[in-house]
Amino acid sequence: MFTNIHTDQSLCANVRMNSMAPNPFRLAQVVLNIKTQQQVNVKKGGGVVQVKKKGGDDVKGEGKSEKNRFFNFHPNSYEPMDNIRCAVVTGANKGIGFEICRQLALEGIEIILTARNESRGVAAVDKLNSSGISNVIYHQLDIIDSKSVQNLVKFIESRFKKLDILVNNAAESGIVYVDINKFKEGGAYMQVNDDNVDNLTGLIEEPYDLGERCLNINYYGTKRVTDALIPLLQLSKSPRVVNISSAYGDLHWFHNEELKHELHDIEILTEERIDEVIQCFLRDFKVTKLRENGWPLTCSAYKVSKAALNAYTRLMARKFQNILVNAVHPGYVVTDMTSQTGILTVEEGAQGSVMAALLPDDGPSGAYFDKTKLAPFTLAERPI
């Protein structure tokens, strides 16, 4: 299902490999064994959720309100809690996030599918349940709302006691389409590069308020969720954090050489400095000084947000030696965010993230996956 993962020690010198690995730069090919799921019939009535597996006994659990859909049942409730692996996927009601939930659930992981909009989140879980996948529940999460994040933390604490996998998928593009048809006719996101910035006038726009929101979600929101869930991840035997990145996060989009090397040099970079860089970008963005000060000129806020996320990924890997923290570029995938343009299906786009979530304990940390291949954090250009 996956391509063999190759790495170059000279290019990936900052990637941390687990000290227990016999060869620090060996990463075996990860092959996901998709399990055949038993058909599950769910009957709701009188506040109780009944789950009947084919060839098995009924499993009952006290269900909460239809509105919340925090179903208090576990199809494998006979297993000790320590043996049950659970994952949180943010922004998971559709697209890549939804598909990550589906693929991880088929691996036997208990999934907490999160989304800001409750009705869409519930509908996503219903869709998975109706396909026979029962080990998925919904919990509301707005990653820029601290109270919402804390509600999720409390839920996981009471329900699972720990967290094994966090997939940070929630993101926004920060742009609006002025003429979507012409944008698609011109090559869609294949044409979004700084050399072509003038030709994109009248096709897409990036208002300051959307750019600011993009950074609040893509970087600060992701950081808020991750920081809040770290204590629960540290209780896991094999914790994993997967940050959905992008080729748009590559530093070649920056035209300020000093800034590029500063963001690339993980030995001197700090979270405080990342925050300073973002605030500096927002000031320049507001007064239209992006070109003058060497910032990306197209999808600017999105590119800065993903570059910041890449840097944060590497810092987290260094800080938390017992957690595998990696960034994954899913590829140019056909989703709503890309206006249904792209060259990969969501099934293909989710593969790298699922692989990173299921890495063996001697896998890399602080690494970048270009789809399913281990690749360097690079200053050079690479295809989207």
Beta strands in the chain (DSSP E): 16-17, 40-45, 48-53, 58-62, 86-89, 110-115, 136-140, 165-168, 176-177, 204-205, 240-244, 324-329, 364-365, 367-370, 373-375
- Cβ neighbors of 164 (< 8 A, separation 6 or more) are 85, 86, 87, 109, 233, 236, 237, 238, 239, 240
Give the strand order in the sheet containing 165-168.
136-140, 110-115, 86-89, 165-168, 240-244, 324-329, 367-370, 373-375
- How far, in Å, CA of 213 to CA of 296, rounded? 17
Q: Please give the structure tokens belonging to residue 170.
A: 């929630």
Sign, CA torsion 266/271/276/282:
positive
Long-range contacts, stretch 227-233, CB < 8 angstroms, 24+ apart: 228/149, 228/150, 228/152, 228/153, 229/88, 229/152, 229/153, 229/156, 229/163, 229/166, 230/320, 230/323, 232/153, 232/156, 232/157, 232/162, 232/163, 233/162, 233/163, 233/164, 233/166, 233/320, 233/323
Sign, CA torsion 243/245/251/255:
negative
302 catalytic residue (yes or no): yes
Long-range contacts, stretch 191-194, CB < 8 angstroms, 24+ apart: 192/298, 192/299, 193/298, 194/253, 194/255, 194/296, 194/297, 194/298
- How far, in Å, CA of 237 to CA of 83, rounded? 10
For residues 217 and 171, the answer to whether their CB atoms sit within 8 Å is yes
Q: Spot the catalytic one: 138, 248, 302, 332.
A: 302
Query: Catalytic residue positions?
Result: 302
